[in-house]
Amino acid sequence: MGVTLDTDQLWQVVDDERASLADLLESLSPEEWETRTRCGDWRVRDVAAHLTIAARFTYGQVVREMTRARGNWNRMIHDSAVSEARLPVAEITANLRSTIGSRRLAPTTSPREPLLDLLVHGQDLALALGRTRQMPPAAARDAADRVWTMRLPPRPWPLPKARLVATDIEWTRGEGEEISGPIAALLLLLTGRPEAAREWCERAGEPWTGVATPR
């Protein structure tokens, strides 16, 4: 069972996540901004820059970036983030703060995509930096449901061949061997981050059981 946030609740969480991530970025040393994350070749500054784009770029800018990427959506996301990451770190942080209150969406996305992006990439940043970052369970459940039901844009991660059971909020999905843990960890698993899911539980002192095989 899943209970989705209403639109106002969803956007409030998005604004809270943007504000707290901006606070985190302002606390980083120059060396921490260059820390590699588990997001391919992205450093902390690349992930941070990525989180500023959807709410700032106009449709015209998106079209130009897609043209440069020859129509490849994933390449466009990567290249635009790397380009924005060349900005001074203070400007990247200011750009993130400027998105608080914005309701602009990337083409083909719903209001749940900014929530998903912020929750998951917020953990990418925190784990790369050795920080513990909490995730609101109701918001994580909403994002997990979004991943589970994604059709457009296509879900880029295979679903686990498992029965997923949240231990901190009512949420169960799938069939097979049971994997249980906090909904935040299950969200990380669903977005292709099994190692991050286990690490999140270790840092939070929460149990994590089961091993997932993608399907």
| Distance, CA of 91 to CA of 103 (rounded, Å) | 21
pLDDT at 119: 98
pLDDT at 211: 63
> Regarding beta strands 172-173 and 163-166, do their DSSP bridges make them parallel or antiparallel, or are they unpaired?
antiparallel
Q: What is the pLDDT of residues 18-51, one digit of tens each?
A: 999 999 999 999 999 999 999 999 999 999 999 9
pTM recorded for the entire structure = 0.91
pLDDT at 69: 61
pLDDT at 117: 96
Please provide the DSSP assignment of 116-176 as one string.
HHHHHHHHHHHHHTT------HHHHHHHHHHHHH--SSPPSSPPBSSEEEESSSS-EE--S
Q: What is the pLDDT of residues 188-215, one digit of tens each?
A: 999 999 999 999 999 888 888 876 544 4
- 96 has pLDDT over 90: yes
Mean pLDDT over 98-107 rounds to: 91
Mean pLDDT over 111-135 rounds to: 95
pLDDT at 214: 45
